[in-house]
A = this chain, B = another copy of it.
Amino acid sequence: MPENTVTREDLEARLKANPFAAWMGLSILSLDEEVLEIGLVWKEDMIANPEARNTHGGILAALIDTAADFMIAAKVGRPVPTIDLRIDYHSAAGPGDLRAVARIKRLGRTFSTAEAEILDADGKLIASGRGVYFTAAAQE
In the assembled complex, the Cα of A113 lies from the Cα of B91 at a distance in Å of 12
13 additional A-B pairs beyond A58-B61, A59-B62, A86-B130, beta carbons within 8 Å, are A18-B49, A19-B56, A49-B79, A57-B62, A57-B65, A57-B82, A58-B63, A58-B66, A81-B89, A81-B92, A83-B83, A88-B106, A90-B106
Number of identical monomers bound together in the oligomeric complex: 4
In the assembled complex, the Cα of A88 lies from the Cα of B59 at a distance in Å of 17
Interface residues of A (CB under 8 A from B): 17-23, 44-50, 56-59, 61-63, 65-66, 79, 81-90, 92, 105-106, 108, 110-111, 113, 125, 128, 130, 132, 134, 136
Task: Name the B residues within 8 Å of A125 (CB-CB).
Answer: 105-106
Verify B134–A132 contact, CB threshold 8 A.
no
Verify A46–B61 contact, CB threshold 8 A.
no
Cβ contact of A23, chosen from B45, B92, B106, cutoff 8 A:
B45
